[in-house]
Amino acid sequence: MALSAQASAVTSIDFFFADDATQQRPSRDGMGPLVAVGGLLVPGESVRDLERRLGDLCTEFGFPQGEEFKWSPGPELWMRDHLIADARTTFFNTALREAAAMGAQALVVIEDINHGLAIAEAGDHEMDVVGMFLERVNNQLRARKRHGVVVVDRPTGGRREEMRYLVRCLEALQTGTKFVKPDRIAINVLTTSSELVRLLQLADIVVSCSVSCVSGEQRFSPATFGSIRPLLCEGWVGCGGTGLKLHPDFNYANLYHWLLGDQRFRKRTMVFSLPIAGRPYGTSADRWR
């Protein structure tokens, strides 16, 4: 009985594997530089099996032992020259389907830095998206009646930069926002190298592909974003603002219709039919006005 209770306690913890991304020059009309944080919610009981399945998948696609996969691999990575075109898309989509089959969900927060902060206390746009991300993580954990741990890729810049980032994350967890106090996140954000964790590598695919698609990239991202879309957490009226948050809403709410297929958008107590006439992208995802 004691062992059963202990096992239940372990599997009541969910894990969020998260990474960040940027796009300095979006091609979408009217859009400024973007910063983002996003990744995957994985039920605690699925973490081990999904991590192993991703490792097996890498082997099936020919990755050398220990080689990392990324959305935009640098020249030092094997997949840059050896997993290309349709084969790369197939690999990404297969990995995302494996995640869906094991109950994973996706959360992505993207912000246009040419506009004001959503959380005034955040101080800068990078921590603003972190705060909005943690708010949505907490909301999902509360809805699932679970607690969770957030694991992120280790920041570049060495130990000092890592400590600075963790202190700011801890402040965000302790203060929360005026809407949400993150009481479901068990401990401060944990960091580790993405080279060691396949689930962090898949988090990179989720957030980086989403930023590419939102920014207007048409060559590679749509085919993989089609596999991310079913993973996005659902709100009361759709994924927009919940699984995929674009800030500011006033500028980008209509993209929830064109990119996600949402028919309605909820802002606090108000619900709007999409697309909203007179707002940016009111007639097309490709036209600001």
Q: Which pLDDT score is estimated for 5? A: 47
User: What is the per-residue pLDDT across 219-263, written as a single tens digit (0 to 9) for each?
Assistant: 999 999 999 999 999 998 999 999 999 999 999 999 999 999 999
**Residue 42 CA, distance from chain mean position:** 12
Q: Which amino acid is at 169?
A: C
Query: Distance of CA 211 to CAs 26, 72, 110, 236, 250, Å?
Result: 9, 12, 7, 23, 18
Angle at the Cα of 129 (from 147 to 272), degrees rounded to 5?
Answer: 90
CA dist 194 and 188 (Å) reads 18
Structure tokens at 175: 């203060």
User: What is the per-residue pLDDT across 251-286, written as a single tens digit (0 to 9) for each?
Assistant: 999 999 999 999 999 988 899 999 999 999 999 999
Q: Which amino acid is at 81?
A: D
User: What is the per-residue pLDDT across 108-140, written as a single tens digit (0 to 9) for each?
Assistant: 999 999 999 998 888 889 889 988 998 999 999
Q: Which amino acid is at 183?
A: D
Q: Which pLDDT score is estimated for 2? A: 47
CA dist 232 and 216 (Å) reads 19
User: What is the per-residue pLDDT across 62-88, written as a single tens digit (0 to 9) for each?
Assistant: 999 999 999 999 999 999 999 999 999
Sign of torsion over alpha carbons 16, 22, 27, 29: positive
Q: Which pLDDT score is estimated for 186? A: 84
SS (H, E, C) the chain: CHHHHHHHHHHCEEEEEEEEEEECCCCCCCCCCEEEEEEEEEEHHHHHHHHHHHHHHHHHCCCCCCCCCCCCCCCCCCHHHHCCHHHHHHHHHHHHHHHHHCCCEEEEEEEECCCCCCCHHHCCHHHHHHHHHHHHHHHHHHHHCCEEEEEEECCCCHHHHHHHHHHHHHHHHHHCCCCCCCCCECCCCEEECHHHCHHHHHHHHHHHHHHHHHHCCCCCHHHHHHHHHHHECCCCCCCECCCEEEECHHHHHHHHHHHHCCCEEEECCEEEECCCCCCCCCCCCCCCC
Q: Backbone dihedral region of 169: left (phi > 0), alpha (psi from -120 to 50 degrees) or beta?
A: alpha
* Percent of the chain residues past pLDDT 90, beyond the cut: 74
Q: Which pLDDT score is estimated for 32? A: 98
What is the pTM assigned to this prediction? 0.91
* Percent of the chain residues past pLDDT 70, beyond the cut: 88
Q: Which pLDDT score is estimated for 164? A: 66
Q: Which pLDDT score is estimated for 177? A: 65
**Lowest mean pLDDT: which of 28-42, 56-70, 136-150, 169-183?**
169-183
**Residue 110 CA, distance from chain mean position:** 9
Length of the chain: 289
Q: What is the mean pLDDT of residues 80-99?
A: 98
Band of the pLDDT at 3, cuts 50, 70, 90?
very low
Q: Which pLDDT score is estimated for 178? A: 61
